[in-house]
Amino acid sequence: MSFFSKIFSKIFPSAKAADTPAAPPTATPPAPSSSSAPIAPAPAAPSSIPLGDVAPILDAMPGASGLNWRTSIVDLLKLLGLDSSLAARKELAQEFTYSGSDEPGSAAWNIWLHRQVMSRIAANGGTVPAELRD
């Protein structure tokens, strides 16, 4: 499971982030035979899960009032109960293919990382305020 998938599943436990591999297509059922038995229609594909607003979900989590999760990647990871160490954040930046010149762990680098997380949550169906996205 990717680091971003861990973040996403902590916010939306019943959903999966798009960076997880898609299920392989199912085989086409055989052509109906000449028997008179009716064939049941194939079940419909599940509809996408409405994910909702990220800010109220995170604000409602225990400990949110004491953390600045809206601007701090470290506080966001702490709120979600995930590793917020520099090594963990480097792993996340590598997953997002960081190509900037900011020093890992610097304020600019952490801001970029936080905005990437919020943008990807939005890209996966979460509602994120525009000021939190890239």
What CA–CA distance (Å, rounded) separates 80 from 10?
A: 6
Q: pLDDT grade, residue 20 (50/70/90)?
A: very low
Phi/psi of residue 16, nearest 5 degrees: -125, 140
Q: What is the mean pLDDT of residues 54-61?
A: 94
> Does the CA dihedral 76-78-80-83 come out positive or negative?
positive
Q: What is the pTM of this model?
A: 0.73
pLDDT band for position 84 (50/70/90)?
Answer: very high
pLDDT reading at 120 higher than 50 = yes
Using CB atoms within 10 Å of the CB of residue 7, give its burial: 0 to 12 exposed, 13 to 18 middle, 19+ buried. Answer: buried
Please give, one letter per residue, the 3-state secondary structure of the chain. Answer: CCHHHHHHHHHCCCCCCCCCCCCCCCCCCCCCCCCCCCCCCCCCCCCCCCCCEHHHHHHCCCCHHHCCCCCCHHHHHHHCCCCCCHHHHHHHHHHCCCCCCCCCCCHHHHHHHHHHHHHHHHHCCCECCHHHCC
For residue 16, pLDDT over 80 is answered with: no
